[in-house]
Structure 1
Amino acid sequence: MEKEKKMKYSKIIKELDSNPPPMPQHSRNCIESLGGTDIKLVMHKIILESKPHNRLSMTIKKIKNKYLFSDHDEETNLIKDMEVRQVKLVDPCLKVTKVNLTSWLIGATQAFSSNNQWHKFVAANADTDTLKTMAVFQIWSFNWVPRESQKAELGFALIEVGDVPQLLSQAMRVEGETN
């Protein structure tokens, strides 16, 4: 059963990766109002039950823009030079918060993760019903320059694109039309 679920999740992500929906204009406007530039799609992510983990993780294998976290051209430098840094996170309701982003290994895979704040972030969005289990999101990155600094900093936005049952239903419908 677990293998079947992973295949379904993989199918949804693969479909979204091959034809990603554009960022909604209201989300783009919010990021630009923060001074955000260089907006790029990072990845698609399914929100799974993560009670023991308390993190939003982005594995390097699934990140579309591998050099997003560093000015270096080599992936090894990107991984080696990553340290904990505070980043802006724009939630699906366009509220802005700050979270700590760090790099670490999950098994043998390098990942970037917002540690120890994910449950708090989800709780702050509980009344919106957007960050629920099985919701499917795009994670977008952007650069912004704080007023007190001249150095560009990293930010992220979570954009909901649907939920697993809805997107599976759409994928099955499309698959049925092509067969």
Structure 2
Amino acid sequence: MIEIKAMLQNMEAIVEEKRNTTPFNPLPHCTLHKVLSQVAPQFYTEQELAQIEEIDQSYCQVNNKKRGRSSDEGSVSHEERGVKPKRTKKREFKKKVREIVSSPPPKLPMIVENKIKELNGRDIKYVMHKELFPSDLDKEKCRLSLPVELDYLNEMEKMELKKRNEKGKLVGLGVGLLDPCFRLFSMSLRKWDMRSDSVYNLVQEWKLVLLKNKFKKDQKLNIWSFRDNDDKLHFVLDDRVIDDRVNSEESEELNNSVEIPKTSEA
């Protein structure tokens, strides 16, 4: 009990130090900041949370490289050890996003179209073909990432994403989200600016979306957007088109693989 109180006092001291220190630097107490950001994220702005996570990922990459060197030493040459998959992690992610975004738009399923019409939706757009990453399924991070290259926001909404409250936290843009079962969730779309890149994140009730659905890693979804009568932006997560596309491709491959028997001449 005494240790817990001491830890809480230490955490409060760090938070107070963070508030009085400009600019914010998580390096001196990186581990404590990481723990505190998980249990009490309200003490941090979105930008500060992004800095803490980026530093934590850098430490993980360094540790993985060290473990890789020790396990491969003696059997792998120095040149071979210089090529590490972890170093291309961000590049692979960007490449994957570009492939998903550049894929041709599928046909809007009738069941999705009818639901949008039922909600008096208009301005329907195909957003992207999304593959779920582990970070999208993390119930502690509670966010669905979307590339900033996608064009479904108007200029006023883009300006709204830059606004912050009196504590310096991003306000975000209020949007609606329909899961594959057409359950409606209230979400907040926010833009996180990293050092080398930016990303959109759907937050707020994403954890509830994960609890209601059995999403899996690498699961593929088609994401659509529309606007209601009040011009409010909504997103639709659709997993039916993926299954239909796979079944269609499998049927086509099966038909192509079947050989037509030759008729014997009389």
TM-score exceeds 0.5: yes
For residue 15 of structure 1, report the CA deviation from its aligned partner: 7.0
> Aligned match of 1:21 in 84, 106, 128?
106
In the TM superposition, 1:88-99 aligns within 5 A as 88-99=176-187
8 A Cα contact 2:221 2:238, kept in partner: yes
> Aligned match of 1:58 in 136, 146, 166?
146
Query: Does 1:70 find its partner at 2:158?
Result: no
For residue 53 of structure 1, report the CA deviation from its aligned partner: 2.6
Please tell me whether Structure 1 or Structure 2 has the larger radius of gyration of its CA atoms.
Answer: 2
| TM-score (norm. length: structure 2) | 0.47
Identity of aligned residues (%): 26
Equivalence for 1:132: 216
SS of residue paired to 2:134:
coil
For residue 88 of structure 1, report the CA deviation from its aligned partner: 1.2
> Aligned match of 1:121 in 209, 214, 222?
209
For residue 116 of structure 1, report the CA deviation from its aligned partner: 4.3
8 A Cα contact 1:41 1:139, kept in partner: yes
> Aligned match of 1:155 in 222, 230, 234?
234
Equivalent AA in structure 2 for residue 27 of structure 1: V
Number of aligned pairs? 148
For residue 46 of structure 1, report the CA deviation from its aligned partner: 0.6
For residue 23 of structure 1, report the CA deviation from its aligned partner: 1.8
Residues 116 and 143 (structure 1), Cα distance of their counterparts in 2 relative to 1, 3 Å cut: closer
Residues 31 and 153 (structure 1), Cα distance of their counterparts in 2 relative to 1, 3 Å cut: same
1:55-80 deviation digits (Å, cap 9, x = unpaired): 1011213x1xx2x22246xxxx93x4
> Aligned match of 1:105 in 185, 193, 215?
193
8 A Cα contact 1:100 1:114, kept in partner: yes
For residue 85 of structure 1, report the CA deviation from its aligned partner: 2.3
SS of residue paired to 1:32:
helix
Equivalence for 2:226: 142
Moved more, 100-109 or 46-55: 100-109
Show structure 1 runs of 5+ residues with no match: 146-150
Equivalence for 2:96: 10
For residue 119 of structure 1, report the CA deviation from its aligned partner: 2.4
> Aligned match of 1:86 in 163, 174, 192?
174
Residues 16 and 70 (structure 1), Cα distance of their counterparts in 2 relative to 1, 3 Å cut: closer
SS of residue paired to 2:111:
helix
Show structure 2 runs of 5+ residues with no match: 1-84, 164-171, 258-266
8 A Cα contact 1:59 1:109, kept in partner: no
Q: Which has the higher helix share?
A: 2
Give the Cα separation in 2 of the matches to 1:154 and 1:88: 7
For residue 109 of structure 1, report the CA deviation from its aligned partner: 2.4
8 A Cα contact 2:143 2:203, kept in partner: yes
